[in-house]
Amino acid sequence: MNRALGTMIGASATYGFSIGAVHSWLYATRNLLKFPLLLLCTGAVCALAYFVLARFFGTPLSFRRVQGLVLEIFRDLAVLLASLAPVTLFLALSLQEPVGEDLGEYPFFQGLNVIAIALCGCLAVARQATALRTDYRLQGRLIVPLLTGWMALSLFAGGQYAWYLRPFFGIASRIDNNPPFCMGTTPDFRGARSFYEAVYNLVDPPRSH
């Protein structure tokens, strides 16, 4: 377990550094701590939430086993993301930088990484389907809704922690001499104070008066 935890921390720090480099070396070095912290906090919540959902579906998974599965999932996620770090770092250092209100290729970089995190998360959870099928002989009718629920829980928990710990990327043309380590519940430019509110604002943007 200690080896898996160490792998997760090291791999997630590697990826965090690569995405922070799109803004500055300050953001990159801060992400050496912030991105592992994001996975650790999300994993701590998911360890309990996954177990509750597993019991709801009537599976024989013990709490200890679910904890092990959570660690394996987030370790796999971190390793998958770390494998993308060289490409991510190259893009961060070579893309067209934002100038004033022109964001250049920054939105593309940010969107690409959000998609990468989501896809790697889905792959990490789906990989456990084999273990659930072979070790516990769970049937497909249980595995599919269970893993779908686990992915949804990871999104809701991880999204909110990412919101609290932001910024991970940051817009390089808007460099603050003393940027905060994390924004917490500080509202964004649309006034959202949480991940869920920000998603809602994307679907239905608030109208200015």
pLDDT in tens, 81-94: 999 999 999 999 99
The verdict on residue 191 lying in a domain is no
The structural domain count of the chain equals: 1
The half-sphere exposure of 30 on its side-chain side, counting CA atoms within 13 A, is 18
Closest CA to 105 of 200, 169, 177: 169
pLDDT bracket for residue 135 (50, 70, 90): confident
Residue 79 in any domain: the answer is yes
**Interior CA angle at 164 toward 159 and 169, to 5°?**
80
Domain membership flag for residue 189: no
pLDDT for res 174: 58
- Note whether residue 208 is domain-resident: no
pLDDT of residue 209: 46
- Domain range spanning residue 140? 2-174
pLDDT value for 101: 66
**Residue 198 falls inside a structural domain:** no
Structure-block tokens of residue 42? 């999300």
- Whole-number pLDDT of residue 132: 82
- List phi, psi (to 5°) of 99: -135, 110
pLDDT digits (tens, 9 = 90+) for 36-58: 999 999 999 999 999 999 999 88
Asked whether residue 96 is domain-assigned, the answer is yes
Is residue 5's pLDDT more than 90? yes
Residue 207: its pLDDT value, please? Answer: 66
pLDDT over 80 (residue 104): no
Whether residue 203 lies inside any domain: the answer is no
Q: What is the mean pLDDT of the chain?
A: 86
Flag whether 167 is in a domain: yes
HEC string for the chain: CHHHHHHHHHHHHHHHHHHHCCCCHHHHHHHHHHHHHHHHHHHHHHHHHHHHHHHHCCCCCCHHHHHHHHHHHHHHHHHHHHHCHHHHHHHHHHCCCCECCECCCHHHHHHHHHHHHHHHHHHHHHHHHHHHHHHCCCCHHHHHHHHHHHHHHHHHHHHHHHHHHCCCCCCCCCCCCCCCCCCCCCCCCCCCCCHHHHHHHHHCCCCCC
